[in-house]
């Protein structure tokens, strides 16, 4: 179904800062989590824009192979490091995108204390680094800060309904705490901060064993395995294609909005998990069957971004429908999966 069109009259021209702090060839753009799904797409895009990029990653859910092709630019380096510890960078940093953190529920629940510390200690280390280098810093926050929301769509002003005491808390509360650190560093120390609240994003280069719903369904359908539905499948998500999301991150980093608070980035078109399963089955012509499993604790029942702020401040909105994005993702996975039996889903 097409997205609701946004009329030009409601979307003023965005104020984008010429990225002086990044276009200076001596200034480095640092991407933590740069070897992960979103990070590797972001690094590629920044290199295309002429930046010098350093990725910092502990390779817990990311892979060296995601960024190996970037090394030939001569402007890219991957440093293996855990951001729970401070890091020194040789050279002047202009901008930091802080993306390091496992994002898939089965992956972030594998070592919850480490996940929590990645968000809290990692954010503080990166904020200190940003202050030291007088660099702008963007935090990859999440729609999970809204928890199991009681209103839909979710605007940035909604404070959320989040459980502090449960299996998702290490991620949700870690991300909320990181936003708090960004708020305090901006207000107390003058840090030049940006916060993107990212909604479910999918696309090529997701790890086949990532465990999130879109990659699970695509892999299951292509491999002829059962499609695993947690609970009734009536819970909803709004799926954003990776290229759209990266465009939003770049625009948010470049926008001259001062400390403007968090900005939702996501595709407002909402689907049930069952609708997603059916779409993937139709597209892959798969004979996989639906298998209903127990609902996950604290699984949000609905999620849909209100992107008015991103439209107004960044002139941004998604352009790729789930229909088209899935085609691209399925083509990529069909090409790269290898032997179906080798894939072990979380």
273 lines the binding site for ligand NAD (CB under 6 A): no
Among 34, 102, 105, 149, binds ligand UDP (CB under 6 A): 105
Task: State yes or no: is 97 an active-site residue.
Answer: no
Cα–Cα dist 326/330, whole Å: 6
Structure tokens at 207: 């790890």
Say what the alpha-carbon torsion angle 280, 284, 285, 290 is, to the nearest 10 degrees.
-40
Annotated catalytic residue within 171, 185, 202, 241: 171
Among 22, 28, 29, 37, binds ligand NAD (CB under 6 A): 37
Among 27, 29, 44, 82, binds ligand NAD (CB under 6 A): 82
Among 16, 49, 59, 131, binds ligand NAD (CB under 6 A): 59
52 touches, from ligand UDP, ligand NAD, none (C-beta below 5 to 8 Å by class): none
Cα–Cα dist 85/62, whole Å: 18
Instruction: Give the CA distances from residue 176 to residues 56, 169, 179, 262, 268, in Å, rounded to whole numbers and listed in that order.
Output: 22, 10, 5, 11, 22
Spatial contact of 267 and 318, defined as CB atoms under 8 Å apart: yes
Q: Which run of H or of E encompasses 262?
A: strand 262-265
121 touches, from ligand UDP, ligand NAD, none (C-beta below 5 to 8 Å by class): none
Among 225, 235, 267, 284, binds ligand UDP (CB under 6 A): 235
Q: Which run of H or of E encompasses 142?
A: strand 136-142
State which residue, 49 or 295, has the beta carbon closest to ligand UDP.
Answer: 295
267 lines the binding site for ligand NAD (CB under 6 A): no
279 burial via Cβ count (<10 Å: 0-12, 13-18, 19+): middle
118 lines the binding site for ligand NAD (CB under 6 A): yes
Overall size of the chain counted in residues: 346
State which residue, 235 or 317, has the beta carbon closest to ligand UDP.
Answer: 235
Binding residues vs ligand UDP (CB under 6 A): 105, 200, 212-213, 216, 228-230, 235, 237, 273, 296, 299
Active site residues: 171
């Amino acid at each position: 179904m097409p997205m609701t069109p946004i009329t030009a009259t409601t979307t003023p021209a965005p104020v984008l800062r010429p990225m002086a702090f990044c276009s200076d060839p001596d200034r480095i753009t640092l991407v933590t989590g740069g070897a992960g799904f979103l990070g590797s797409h972001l690094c590629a895009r920044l290199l295309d824009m002429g930046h010098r990029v350093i990725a910092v990653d502990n390779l817990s859910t990311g892979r060296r192979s995601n960024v190996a092709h970037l090394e030939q630019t001569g402007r890219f380096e991957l440093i293996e490091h855990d951001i729970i510890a401070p890091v020194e960078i040789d050279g002047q940093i202009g901008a930091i995108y802080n993306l390091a953190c496992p994002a898939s529920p089965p992956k972030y629940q594998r070592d919850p204390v480490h996940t929590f510390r990645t968000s809290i200690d990692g954010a503080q280390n990166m904020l200190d680094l940003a202050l030291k280098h007088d660099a702008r810093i963007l935090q990859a926050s999440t729609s999970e800060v809204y928890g199991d929301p009681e209103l839909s769509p979710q605007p940035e002003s909604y404070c959320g309904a989040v459980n502090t005491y449960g299996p998702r808390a290490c991620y949700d509360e870690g991300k909320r705490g990181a936003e708090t650190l960004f708020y305090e560093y901006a207000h107390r120390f003058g840090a030049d901060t940006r916060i993107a609240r990212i909604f479910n994003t999918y696309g090529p280069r997701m790890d086949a064993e990532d465990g999130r719903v879109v990659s699970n369904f695509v892999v299951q359908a292509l491999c002829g395995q059962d499609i695993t539905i947690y609970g009734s499948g009536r819970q909803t998500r709004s799926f954003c294609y990776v290229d759209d999301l990266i465009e939003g991150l770049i625009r948010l980093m470049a926008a001259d909005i001062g400390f403007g608070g968090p900005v939702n980035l996501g595709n407002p078109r909402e689907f049930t998990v069952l609708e997603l399963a059916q779409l993937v089955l139709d597209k892959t012509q798969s004979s996989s069957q639906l298998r209903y499993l127990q609902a996950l604790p604290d699984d949000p029942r609905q999620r849909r971004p209100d992107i008015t702020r991103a439209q107004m401040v960044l002139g941004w909105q998604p352009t790729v429908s789930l229909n088209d994005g899935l085609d691209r993702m399925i083509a990529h996975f069909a090409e790269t999966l290898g032997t179906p039996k080798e894939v072990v889903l979380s």
